Amino acid sequence: MISKRLTSLSEGQYTDIFQIGNNYFILKVEKIKLIKIKIDKKVELEKMIQFETNKQLNQYSRIFFNRSKMNYTINEN
């Protein structure tokens, strides 16, 4: 919501008053900087694959732990 309002402004301009939650805002654009970022698609793909793999392994570990937890009881005598 904020980025939409800021992208339509030039340097030195103000936004209209807008509300987020119980707060009201007026923003001014002081300086516009454009930064080019190079993204290596192969590296990002590997990160995503690693994240999903870890997520699934954690899920399987929790399932196995909960299953083994139900099968074993400790008798205190």
Cα R_g (the chain), whole angstroms: 26
Query: For residue 69, is pLDDT > 80?
Result: no
Comparing 74 with 22, the larger pLDDT belongs to: 22
Judge contact between 2 and 21, C-beta under 8 A. no
Q: What is the pLDDT of residue 44?
A: 96
**13: which residues sit within 8 A by CB, 6+ positions away?**
28, 29
What are 2-39's pLDDT values in tens digits? 888 888 888 899 988 988 889 999 999 999 888 999 99
Local structure of 23: helix, strand or coil: strand
Question: What sign for the dihedral angle of Cα 16, 20, 22, 23?
Answer: negative
